[in-house]
């Protein structure tokens, strides 16, 4: 029996032009290129220019995704923007993106699940598209974490960067089989008992300020691999696919060691892992579409490939998505 599936039509990304190397950071905080590379795999990050906003990054990425999908912006009727660093407390930055793209129909809203934001946004758009109410969606992850970093705190400022990535999605009738194109399954989880391990120490209702990112790095690391593998095993159980069937594993790009350990625990071969963290650090909700776009543009991810996405972040939140490109 045929069924509506959410198919990816195209993707795009954007990184601000200013690159900050580990060596440049080592000039202002007590760190070194060697320490950062060895503990995280990060070599550089991009930082948005003064006045360059999350919505600006998102619009660049969305335009690139629309161009790669050969889709007219006017046919988009849903925009879900995953971000923890919106331009303003409200309105949603998604409406700025909508207006910036000249779109006047449909719905646009932000979604906040920190580093898991892109997977949560993908699952949300998938659910809405499969109701048949919406036809074409833009799912964007865009962040300016440079604005919420305490640049004097070496335990956090070396890890994050700014960027954006986007995908264009369309509801399409598929045969309703395991080898359908599109999103095959998504699994989302949260556990607020861990909220103090990774948070921002400000907000409109608590301090009337934006605040700075605070993190117990070791505690986050300890939970990350177990949570990631948990939701991926859910995806395998639901679909019947195994690690051997996966063509590409595109994880949230937080830390090379977390990615390596997760792939190893799941039995995913290293050559199937897409890793871009060295080039842009942890860009939170933007990291998965940035990595996806890299692997699509360099010819690794091709139509028909089975692609596994996962993310874990503040909250904690974590999630997986399995799709056929
Ligand atoms: N440069 C040099 N030394 C540093 C730095 C730095 N930038 N940061 C911390 N150190 C020092 C510490 O002060 C400590 O010194 P001490 O032994 O004298 O006390 C030492 O290095 C070891 O510190 P740890 O925190 O134990 O180092 P660890 O090996 O755990 O690495 C890191 C820290 C990289 C943060 C790691 O815990 C990690 O990757 N955690 C996951 C965090 C993460 O990725 N968060 C992103 C959001 S969540 C997500 O996206 C999954």
Q: How many Å lie between the centroid of ligand 1 and the Cα of residue 278?
A: 16
Query: Would you identify the CATH topology of the domain 182-324?
Result: Peroxisomal Thiolase; Chain A, domain 1 (3.40.47)
The response to whether residue 198 sits with its C-beta less than 6 Å from ligand 1 reads: yes
Domain residues of the chain, as ranges?
A: 3-174, 182-324
Place domain 3-174 in its CATH homologous superfamily.
Thiolase/Chalcone synthase (3.40.47.10)
Q: How many Å lie between the centroid of ligand 1 and the Cα of residue 218?
A: 6
Q: By three-state DSSP, how is residue 189 classified?
A: strand
Catalytic residue among 22, 46, 115, 255: 115
The response to whether residue 186 sits with its C-beta less than 6 Å from ligand 1 reads: no
The response to whether residue 309 sits with its C-beta less than 6 Å from ligand 1 reads: no
- Is residue 62 within 8 A of residue 97, CB to CB? The reply is yes
Q: What is the pLDDT of residues 110-149, one digit of tens each?
A: 999 999 999 999 999 999 999 999 999 999 999 999 999 9
Q: What is the pLDDT of residues 247-304, one digit of tens each?
A: 999 999 999 999 999 999 999 999 999 999 999 999 999 999 999 999 999 999 999 9
For ligand 1, what atom is nearest to the CA of residue 31?
Answer: 1
What per-residue confidence (pLDDT) applies to 107?
A: 98
Q: What is the pLDDT of residues 18-64, one digit of tens each?
A: 999 999 999 999 999 999 999 999 999 999 999 999 999 999 999 99
Q: Rounded mean pLDDT of 87-93?
A: 98
What per-residue confidence (pLDDT) applies to 311?
A: 98
Q: How many Å lie between the centroid of ligand 1 and the Cα of residue 256?
A: 13
200 — pLDDT class (breaks 50, 70, 90): very high
Q: Rounded mean pLDDT of 7-16?
A: 98
> Two tokens at 157?
């400022």
Q: What are phi and psi of 305, to 5 degrees?
A: -70, 145
Q: Where are the alpha helices (DSSP H) in 71-200?
A: 93-100, 117-130, 154-157
Which residue shows structure tokens 């009337």?
208
Q: Nearest 5 degrees, angle CA 122-CA 116-CA 183?
A: 25
Q: What is the pLDDT of residues 37-46, one digit of tens each?
A: 999 999 999 9
**Residue with the nearest Cα to atom 24 of ligand 1?**
218
Task: Give the sign of the dihedral formed by CA 289, CA 293, CA 295, CA 300.
Answer: positive
Catalytic residue among 60, 194, 252, 280: 252
Is 282 catalytic? The answer is yes
Q: What is the DSSP letter of 288?
A: H
């Amino acid at each position: 029996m045929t069924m509506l599936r959410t198919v990816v039509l195209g993707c795009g990304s954007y990184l601000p032009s200013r690159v900050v190397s580990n060596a440049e950071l080592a000039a202002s905080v007590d760190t070194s290129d060697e320490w950062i590379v060895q503990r995280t795999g990060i070599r550089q990050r991009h930082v948005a220019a003064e006045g360059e906003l999350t919505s600006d990054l998102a619009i660049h990425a969305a335009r690139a995704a629309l161009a790669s999908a050969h889709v007219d912006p006017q046919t988009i009727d849903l925009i879900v923007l995953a971000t923890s660093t919106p331009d303003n407390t409200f309105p949603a930055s998604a409406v700025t993106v909508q207006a910036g793209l000249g779109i006047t129909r449909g719905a646009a809203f932000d979604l906040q699940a920190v580093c898991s934001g892109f997977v949560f946004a993908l699952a949300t758009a998938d659910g809405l598209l499969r109701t048949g109410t919406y036809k074409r969606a833009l799912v964007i992850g865009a962040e300016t974490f440079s604005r919420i970093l305490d640049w004097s705190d070496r335990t956090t400022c070396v890890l994050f960067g700014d960027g954006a990535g986007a995908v264009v999605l369309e509801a399409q009738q598929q045969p309703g089989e395991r080898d359908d194109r599109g999103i095959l399954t998504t699994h989302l989880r949260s556990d607020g008992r861990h909220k103090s391990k990774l948070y921002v120490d400000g907000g409109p209702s608590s301090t009337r300020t934006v605040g700075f990112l605070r993190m117990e790095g070791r505690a986050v690391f300890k939970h990350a691999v177990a949570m990631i593998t948990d939701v991926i095993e859910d995806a395998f159980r639901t679909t019947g696919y195994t690690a051997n069937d996966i063509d590409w594993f595109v994880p949230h790009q937080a830390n090379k060691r977390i990615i390596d350990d997760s792939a190893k625990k799941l039995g995913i071969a290293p050559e199937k892992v897409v890793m871009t963290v060295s080039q842009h650090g942890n860009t939170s909700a933007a990291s998965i579409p940035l990595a996806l776009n890299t692997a699509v543009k360099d010819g690794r991810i091709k139509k028909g490939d089975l692609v596994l996405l996962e993310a874990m972040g503040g909250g904690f939140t974590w999630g997986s998505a399995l799709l056929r490109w």
